[in-house]
Amino acid sequence: TTTVYTDSDAESAQLANKTVAVLGYGSQGHAHAQNLDDSGVDVVVGLRPSSRSREHAKDDGLRVATPADAAAEADIVVMLVPDTVQPSVYETVAPELDPGDTLQFAHGFNVHYGQIEPPEDVNVTMVAPKGPGHLVRRTYERGEGTPGLFAVYQDATGEASAQALAYAQAIGCTRAGVIETTFREETETDLFGEQAVLCGGVTDLVKAGYETLVDAGYSPEMAYFECLNELKLIVDLLYEGGHMEMWNSVSDTAEYGGLTRGEDVVDREAMEAILDGVQSGEFAREWISENQANRPAYKQYRHAEQNHEIEEVGDRLRELFAWGEESKEPAPADD
Ligand code: NDP
Ligand code: MG
Ligand code: MG
């Protein structure tokens, strides 16, 4: 069975007399930097001179330097800028990585797909909270934590794993529990999950259901409620108690209909093809060249999504009905 690491497994001494450079002050960066600072760890935030985030970091009482200067004084350099810009930021900090330093990530994409190739004499680790930054910060402030992952890709000092656990403790993750993974497993399961299930699968399922009803002559409002709005109630039940909690909470008719018909809409061969594309690196190569070309396909898909009828129907219905305020997320911290 999986080992869940908690506070008692971490040695805070691992971070004593160490300086951590947090590169980026967005969703993850602002939460890591402030939690580390509150945990008594010496932190410097690395941001480009033109950065919009600089004032936020200073207002939060943190030291700010350029990424290269921050990395120069740090023992642990944490890459918390967007994944697509990490290779270029890495170029600027690479000369500042001394033997025995640590280069740390919150997602394995760039290392796993060879976009960043750190020297052999540095530790390469990952500490990834399983939640957005505002939750990582908010739970820490309440004395709680966000569950997380850690991984060691390269252990130059023999202490990479202990140091990653100490970092996970300092940002609050070991309060909730941390499990060990690898860069490969984290990267491939993350990409597969967001493509096939969480982001891609769910939105296409909703659109297909909505279009099927509207094309058959039902009202867009009814189609929206049935195929999108009620999804939250179902997901909350799944999250709280798994599939059985959900099946136990819906009607027997919904349960029988769902159990007999649900699998007809899922194409497992298509899912396997998505996983193949992730494992072979084909998806990664496509996304890297898409970025190098300034994202032409991305912009087209985004435009089509923005102009889908379901967006307009949703905007209208959210205006007309009072949705619970407690279900709304706060605005992102970097805006
Ligand atoms: P964000 O998009 O929130 O990062 C924005 C920050 O990066 C800003 O401070 C921005 O500053 C800075 N930045 C952007 N472009 C550059 C650049 N070219 N040079 C220097 N700084 C730049 O990132 P996330 O927090 O979402 O993601 C960071 C890492 O964490 C990623 O690896 C991601 O996969 C991972 N992760 C994210 C999670 C999440 O919930 N968001 C969850 C778990 C892992 P500026 O003002 O200069 O633009
Ligand atoms: Mg993910
Ligand atoms: Mg992801």
Give the pLDDT of residue 139. 98
CA 194–ligand 3 middle distance (angstroms):
6
Which of the ligands is closest to the CA of residue 130?
Answer: 1
Query: Which residues of the chain are modeled with pLDDT < 70?
Result: 324-335
- φ/ψ region of 172 (left if φ > 0, alpha if ψ in -120 to 50, else beta) reads left
Give the pLDDT of residue 86. 98
The token pair that represents 36 in the structure block? 């580390």
Atom nearest to 88 CA in ligand 1? 18
CB burial class (10 A; 0-12, 13-18, 19+) of residue 195? middle
C-alpha to C-alpha distance for 321 and 317, rounded to whole angstroms: 6
C-alpha to C-alpha distance for 121 and 164, rounded to whole angstroms: 17
CB 53 within 8 A of CB 334: yes
Choice from 35, 54, 69, 80 to test ligand 1 binding pocket (greatest atom count within 8 A of CB): 80
Residues 6+ apart with CB under 8 A from 335: none
List, in order of start, the domains of the chain with CATH numbers: 7-181 (3.40.50.720), 190-327 (no CATH)
CB 161 within 8 A of CB 121: no
Name the closest-CA residue to atom 4, ligand 1.
26
Give the pLDDT of residue 332. 56
* Active site members: 107
Give the pLDDT of residue 335. 40
Binding site membership of 82 for ligand 1 (Cβ less than 6 Å): yes
Binding site membership of 89 for ligand 1 (Cβ less than 6 Å): yes
pLDDT digits (tens, 9 = 90+) for 105-162: 999 999 999 999 999 999 999 999 999 999 999 999 999 999 999 999 999 999 999 9
Q: What's the CA angle centered on 101, arms 96 and 103, to 5 degrees?
A: 80
Q: Which of the 8 DSSP states describes residue 308? A: S
Residue ranges with strand state E in 106-144? 123-129
Binding site membership of 107 for ligand 1 (Cβ less than 6 Å): yes
C-alpha to C-alpha distance for 18 and 27, rounded to whole angstroms: 24
